[in-house]
Structure 1
């Protein structure tokens, strides 16, 4: 069975004639204020994107600079440390060498001064010993004037073979001692004794057969000192 629907006239609306282009998508008109809002939004978005890009670029730049600075700082510190260590080492070695040279110089000068002091002390001691020896000899000859006899006997032996012609020049006080000795040895000793005031006690001069021996105190004293590299007069001036 067919059912037909009838629409009352009162409910009918006016109809429009159908056109072919009615199938096209209808264009929607955008209000001017809404369009301006969209442009502003796009501009804002573009500005935001630009700002973000600048921030990103600036951040990257700062990060790069910081990284480069840190790397350069680290390398600079390492290089500076190595350079400073090398320079410090060289300077330290130079200072040590200078100190050692100065110390060696001080020790060398000290050694020279010690040697000089030792030489002065040794010389002073030797001078003192010579002076004491001279005084002891003089005192011994005063206490034991007969010490002239061994001197004359030794000199006479050096002129052996000429005893009968032997002439002895001695101090007047020593001449008496030699005469007494000669009298005691009259059978063996034939000396001619001459008193000589130029002779010191304990010394003598002998002559025989054209030969002569100087056994004076001054000559004997110089011979003794010459053996030890010294020089001093028997008679103090």
Structure 2
């Protein structure tokens, strides 16, 4: 087979030259203007980079500082608010406790006053009972020693009836009847009175019976009137 190239594929004649074995020439140096522009670009890039770094750092520091200030401010406000609320709550509780204590003291004072008043009433009643007991004992003893002290009692009972309506009866203890006859018998007889003895009537008292009136001046009844006037309840028959 022939290795010849077809005519249409053949090119014009080119001279063959042996390739050089020397090192390639260095690239051309940039001009002064290009070098200045390059340095300006690099400087501008560094400035932009530094500015961006500064801005980022400032932002981070501002954010961090804001957080710290926010925390500190919030803590201070919370502390102040908590202190104020705690102080107000303490004042409120103190006032409530003081009011409660004051009410307790007032209740104690009222109770103490009532107890004192009650004690005074009991003491007064006991003293009154003692006085009545002494008076009763003295009166009964006096009737035995001086039986004539019955005379004023009889005189007072008769004076209740200025106009005597017959029959007029004066009932007395037998021992008192003899004394009345001795001292007032004649006077009473002239006034239309009749003396009658009744052993059920205790010494020192009497009863008056007329056609229209009855007067009980026995010792027990008169004693009961004295007790009622004094607000006491001391029985004449009690020893």
Task: Using structure 2 for the length normalisation, give the TM-score.
Answer: 0.69
Residue number in structure 2 paired with 1:94: 96
1:57-116 deviation per Cα after TM superposition (whole angstroms, max 9, x unaligned): 765554333222221111111111111122222222222222222222222222222221
- Give, in angstroms, the shift of residue 228 of structure 1: 2.2
The answer to whether the 8 Å contact 2:164/2:192 transfers is no
Distance 1:187 1:53, change over 3 A: closer
Q: How well do the aligned residues superpose, as a CA RMSD in angstroms?
A: 3.1
Equivalent-residue separation in structure 2 for 1:107 and 1:126 (angstroms): 28
Correspondence for 1:150: 152
Q: Which residue number in structure 2 is paired with residue 219 of structure 1? A: 221
* Change beyond 3 A, Cα 1:221–1:183: closer
Change in Cα spacing, 1:229 to 1:187, as seen in structure 2 (3 Å) is: closer
In structure 2, the gaps of 5 or more residues are 1-26, 31-48
Counterpart in the other structure of 2:107: 105
Alignment map for 1:13-24 (pairs within 5 Å): none
Aligned length: 194
Tell me the residue number matched to 1:39.
none
Structure 1 gaps of 5+ residues are 1-23, 28-45
Cα distance in structure 2, aligned partners of 1:183 and 1:89: 91
* Worse overlay, 198-207 or 90-99: 90-99
Distance 1:169 1:115 in 2: 46
| CA shift digits 1:104-144 (9 cap, x unpaired) | 22222222222211221222122222212211221222221
